[in-house]
Structure 1
Amino acid sequence: MRVQMEEWRRFIPGVRMYKGKKTLFYNGEKLFGQPFAYDYEERNSWEAIVILPGVEVISAHTFHWCMGVKTVIMADSVRRIEDAAFYCCGSLEFVKLSRNLEYIGKNAFTSCKFTSIFVPPLCREIGHWAFQGCKKLIIFSVSENTELGHAVVDGTILARASPFPTDNDGRHQDEDNEQVNEWIKNRHADNQFSLHRACASHIPAEEVIYNIVKRQGIGTFRKEDNAGVSASQYLSQNPFTDIKEEKIMKRYILDMMGELV
């Protein structure tokens, strides 16, 4: 029996935002035998997927069209997500990728529902259309060393927020693709957005975040980047951290009060 209820909480300490009732704990086995010979009734009953330690590759199409899944959490053993692995998971709201992820295939997360995705810096390649059609996607945190394929975020809020024109479906012209990718990767290159970089890190450090706030002021949490996203939003949606903005603010205020006294 693949579907379980409570044991998932013992899998990764600190995992947040779980909302599902039925969890698939995936150990790498082939699901339902032959490719595309799926039991859709069972697949549509899953509300969360936990990829267990030891799984290194999520094969092509493994979880495509799992329409009830809201949460995906990956063990840090996962190195590759192959083509269309989570294609058209239309309810998928929250993804925690493996810290050791190296590759995301074509159409891997096409037409999902999440608003943010945080790609660890070890990931060196993201295939064509990997997040295309994720209409609500506005936070896409990715290393400048990651090679982005064609139209990776077309059809998203982020695509529309770029300085390059899109059509009615939020798609860029082909000739703009390379410039769009560079814009995405370098949005926080300016030092004024150092807090955004810190809050989006896959290894966020409270002391680093606090020191930036101390230098730039508490209002820096509300400063929006050129896609209209604030540092506060990066911190609150980052799946790799449990640091709370409120704790930083409280420390800042107490330190300021101490200086005044």
Structure 2
Amino acid sequence: MRVQTEEWRRFIPGVRMYKGKKTLFYNGEILREGDGTNPLIYNREERLSWKVIIVLPGVRVIPDWTFWSCKNVEKVIMSDTVRRIEWGAFSTCISLEFVKLSQTLEFIGVNSFQSCVSLTSIFIPPSCREICNWAFNWCSEFIIFHVPQHTLIGRNVFELGKDVIRRTKLFEASPFYGHDNDYNAEEVNTWIKNINMNEEYELHRACSSFNPIEDIVYGIVRRKGLSSFQAPNALGITPAQYLAANPYADIDQHKLIKRYIAEMMGEPV
């Protein structure tokens, strides 16, 4: 009988221990019905035991309320086949800290991550066309929200609901906080996309971009100095923080710093 490797086993649906944490390998099943209060497959006790959710290849849609109130889930990793996250899919996952979205994601539904109070950052892939209202509402620690600069606001292009970031740290840091509804969605969209547009934030843009390129990041650091890694933007976020939070970044900051120091000292790199 052929022994299954861990790499092969991780593509099998179901719940099991993976890298020391109880993990659901999700295959697109309907796990809840109605408003999300009625579990169909896993009971409440089982759902509360999960620490990680890995969405398997082949899944295109995460249905309404699928992971609602999975309160101990800390990490969600999606395969790159996922196109849509529907209404309330991850709502009230209060321990959720890390999300890697599908690189082909097109749609994020209403309330999809609402009340994920431990979530601090989301990086939206260029493929995404619509983020609906209240998607990150009540995510009280949410501060890093990268939306691709080249996308346009408008019908059938890229739309952000007006209250996508309501009651978050990001909204509290915005010029709209305390003005009730005296603003429109386009103003919010423009502000979000232009947070790092000043020339002084060039390194912030590079580190928060989709699949940042090490040589580009290094080139900016070399030109601006090592201290630029720790320079905060208007939100108080540094390039180092963007890079550490970016799930699409494959850059080792420590190696990059060593490379900089070696070059400055005239040592071979």
TM-score, normalised with respect to structure 2: 0.85
Quote the offset at 1:165 in angstroms.
2.9
| Residue equivalent to 1:186 | 194
What does 1:193-212 correspond to in 2, within 5 Å? Answer: 193-212=201-220
> Is 1:240 matched up with 2:234?
no
What does 1:78-227 correspond to in 2, within 5 Å? Answer: 78-112=82-116, 113-144=118-149, 145=151, 146-166=158-178, 173-178=180-185, 179-227=187-235
| Residue equivalent to 1:47 | 51
Identity of aligned residues (%): 51
Quote the offset at 1:127 in angstroms.
0.3
Structure 1, 132-141 or 236-245: larger mean CA deviation: 236-245
Quote the offset at 1:258 in angstroms.
1.1
TM-score, normalised with respect to structure 1: 0.87
- Check conservation: 1:151, 1:177, Cα contact below 8 A: no
User: Please, which runs of 5 or more residues in structure 1 have no aligned partner?
Assistant: 10-19, 167-171
Runs of 4+ residues over 4 Å off in structure 1: 32-35
Q: Whole-Å Cα distance in 2 between the matches of residues 143 and 70 of structure 1?
A: 25
Quote the offset at 1:181 in angstroms.
2.5
Quote the offset at 1:120 in angstroms.
0.9
Q: Whole-Å Cα distance in 2 between the matches of residues 246 and 123 of structure 1?
A: 32
> Is 1:4 matched up with 2:21?
no
Q: Whole-Å Cα distance in 1 between the matches of residues 231 and 80 of structure 2?
A: 32
Quote the offset at 1:254 in angstroms.
1.1
Quote the offset at 1:32 in angstroms.
5.8
User: Please, which runs of 5 or more residues in structure 2 have no aligned partner?
Assistant: 1-12, 152-157
Quote the offset at 1:73 in angstroms.
0.5
Which secondary structure does the structure 1 equivalent of 2:72 belong to?
A: coil
Query: Relative to 1, partners in 2 of residues 1:187 and 1:62: Cα closer, same or farther, differing over 3 Å?
Result: same
- Check conservation: 1:59, 1:83, Cα contact below 8 A: yes
Which secondary structure does the structure 2 equivalent of 1:50 belong to?
A: strand
CA RMSD of aligned residues (A): 1.8
Q: Whole-Å Cα distance in 2 between the matches of residues 29 and 201 of structure 1?
A: 32
Q: Whole-Å Cα distance in 2 between the matches of residues 33 and 140 of structure 1?
A: 30
| Residue equivalent to 1:14 | none
| Residue equivalent to 1:169 | none
Which secondary structure does the structure 1 equivalent of 2:171 belong to?
A: helix
Quote the offset at 1:33 in angstroms.
7.0
- Check conservation: 1:80, 1:104, Cα contact below 8 A: yes
- Check conservation: 2:83, 2:105, Cα contact below 8 A: yes
- Check conservation: 2:162, 2:188, Cα contact below 8 A: no
Q: Whole-Å Cα distance in 1 between the matches of residues 260 and 244 of structure 2?
A: 18
Q: Whole-Å Cα distance in 2 between the matches of residues 33 and 227 of structure 1?
A: 39
